[in-house]
């Protein structure tokens, strides 16, 4: 009933795009999209193989993850499918938006350093990520970003924080904050969609 109500209000996020034209239509009047991933605690599986796939590598936690696309108004327009915690953020994005297609060709897209390589892998000169500090080497003993690069990173950070605010908005619901223990099939995926819809309703309706 909740899903049908949020759907009728038009506040549910997209789960996928059947074509590039469909995606461009959704974002045609939007100046900037911000892409990030969100991670949630998940119960520790009994099966050792599943444990390994759910292990996030952070603080010995088992998690599940989703790709989130929001806009500067903090609305959540896209929630990717739910992946095990061991899957890298960029791998999730490539699974849902194949680099073989020009998904971001005419879209201003902002991402964090977890998506390094996207500017080479995807077509689109409007894709932006922060500058990464160079590695220390024999030829560069004290690697540092230039003042210009640092300033650009600060500017991007002030904009990119908006997706963190959107994620924080959907995580106001306790079901996304505590260890997820419900065993109902696909319910771990359903709840983040519903929470995103409720968040969108709260900021737009």
Q: Is the pLDDT of residue 138 over 70?
A: no
70-126 pLDDT per residue, tens: 999 999 999 999 999 999 999 999 999 999 999 999 899 999 999 999 999 999 999
pLDDT at 204: 86
Q: Average the pLDDT over 12-39 and give the result.
A: 95
From 185, 168, 186, 189, select the one nearest 177 (Cα to Cα).
168
Instruction: Report the predicted TM-score, pTM, of the whole model to 2 decimal places.
Output: 0.90
pLDDT at 90: 97
pLDDT at 49: 81
Q: Is the pLDDT of residue 47 over 90?
A: no
Judge contact between 23 and 98, C-beta under 8 A: no
141-189 pLDDT per residue, tens: 677 888 899 999 999 999 989 999 999 999 999 999 999 999 899 999 9
For the chain, what are the domain ranges?
Answer: 2-129+146-204
Count of beta carbons in the 10 Å neighbourhood of residue 184: 8
pLDDT at 188: 95
């Amino acid at each position: 009933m909740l899903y049908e109500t949020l759907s009728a209000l038009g506040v549910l996020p997209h789960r996928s795009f059947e074509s590039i034209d469909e995606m461009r239509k959704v974002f045609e009047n939007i100046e900037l999209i911000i892409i990030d991933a969100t991670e949630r605690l998940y119960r520790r599986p009994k099966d050792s193989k599943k444990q390994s796939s759910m292990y996030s590598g952070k603080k010995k936690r088992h998690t599940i993850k989703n790709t989130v696309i929001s806009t500067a108004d903090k609305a959540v327009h896209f929630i990717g499918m739910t992946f095990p915690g061991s899957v890298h953020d960029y791998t999730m994005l490539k699974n849902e938006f194949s680099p073989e297609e020009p998904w971001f060709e005419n879209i201003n897209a902002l991402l964090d350093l977890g998506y390094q390589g996207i500017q080479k892998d995807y077509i689109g000169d409007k894709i932006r990520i922060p500058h990464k500090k160079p590695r220390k080497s024999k030829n560069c003993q004290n690697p540092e970003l230039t003042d210009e690069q640092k300033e650009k990173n600060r500017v991007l950070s002030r904009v990119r924080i908006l997706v963190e605010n959107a994620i924080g908005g959907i995580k106001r619901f306790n079901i996304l904050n505590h260890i997820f223990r419900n065993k109902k099939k696909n319910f771990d995926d359903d709840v983040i969609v519903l929470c995103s819809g409720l968040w969108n309703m709260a900021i737009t309706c």
